[in-house]
């Protein structure tokens, strides 16, 4: 493997900091944000249903709407280039046919495999409870959120994951169906105004076992 690529990736991972103060003069264009989200959305998901949904909050009006819903994270809201609200679509199975048909069209999947898998997946979802669906979607949304943070680093930006916000209000605040779109986290993104702080990690001996 190319050592330069390995070292670059290590720097992206090990150099990441959760930043709370951003340079408010730095803006991320819609074109670059689209590129960042496109790369992040390559994350894996259960049966490739990609249940994540993003609301990019970068306008003055959008941040004014968000501010009272993220009361303990005002610096990130005010100074970041954007805050990305990550939701899990509890009806992501509605895209099943579209996704699998496109996979066949692009030559990624034989038609007979699609014809076997799609009915089985539909039956699987019909049997799942809301809580089971939510648990699966939260795992997938966590994967895409971490990938989004790493992709942002590769583009030269910094991030901060935010879990403390008014989850019962945010969907409706941004005109989403709160019964369908389950809030996962907020991610502030922009250029760091300071170096941030390193944080302590438990030793591997405390968190991993070999059997």
Q: What is d(CA 146, CA 148) in angstroms, rounded to the nearest whole number?
A: 5
Q: What is the pLDDT confidence band of residue 7, given thresholds at 50, 70 and 90?
A: confident
**109/138 Cα distance (integer angstroms):** 26
Q: Please give the residue that has the higher pLDDT: either 42 or 13.
A: 42
pLDDT band at residue 197 under the 50/70/90 scheme: confident
> Quick check: 8 pLDDT over 90?
no
Beta-sheet strands, E only, within 46-199: 52-57, 82-89, 158-162, 181-190
Give, in order, the Cα–Cα distances in Å from 210 to each of 85, 102, 127, 203, 205: 37, 41, 36, 14, 10
In what side-by-side order are the strands of the sheet with 181-190?
52-57, 82-89, 181-190, 158-162
Q: What is the pTM of this model?
A: 0.94
Q: Which percentage of the chain shows pLDDT scores above 70? A: 99
Confidence of residue 1 (pLDDT cuts 50, 70, 90): low
pLDDT for 14-62, tens place per residue? 777 888 999 999 999 999 999 999 999 999 999 999 999 999 999 999 9
* Pick from 97, 111, 82, 182: nearest CA to 142: 182
Per-residue pLDDT reduced to its tens digit, 125-168:
999 999 999 999 999 999 999 999 999 999 999 999 999 999 99
């Amino acid at each position: 493997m190319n050592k330069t690529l390995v070292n670059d990736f290590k720097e992206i991972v090990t150099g990441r900091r959760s930043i709370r103060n951003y340079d408010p003069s730095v803006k991320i264009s819609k074109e670059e944000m689209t590129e960042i989200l496109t790369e992040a959305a390559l994350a894996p998901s259960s049966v490739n249903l990609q249940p994540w949904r993003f609301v990019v909050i970068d306008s003055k009006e959008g941040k004014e709407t968000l501010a009272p819903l993220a009361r303990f994270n005002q610096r990130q809201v005010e100074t970041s280039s954007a805050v990305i609200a990550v939701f899990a679509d509890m009806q992501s199975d509605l895209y099943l046919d579209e996704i699998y048909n496109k996979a066949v069209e692009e030559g990624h999947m034989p038609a007979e495999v699609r014809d076997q898998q799609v009915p089985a997946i539909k039956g699987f979802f019909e049997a799942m409870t809301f809580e089971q669906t939510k648990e699966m979607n939260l795992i997938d949304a966590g994967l895409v959120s971490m990938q989004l943070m790493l992709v942002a680093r590769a583009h030269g930006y910094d991030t901060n994951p935010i879990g403390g916000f008014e989850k019962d209000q945010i969907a409706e605040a941004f005109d989403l169906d709160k019964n369908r779109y389950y809030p996962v986290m907020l991610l502030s993104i922009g250029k760091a105004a300071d170096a941030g702080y390193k944080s302590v990690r438990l030793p591997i001996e405390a968190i991993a076992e070999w059997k």
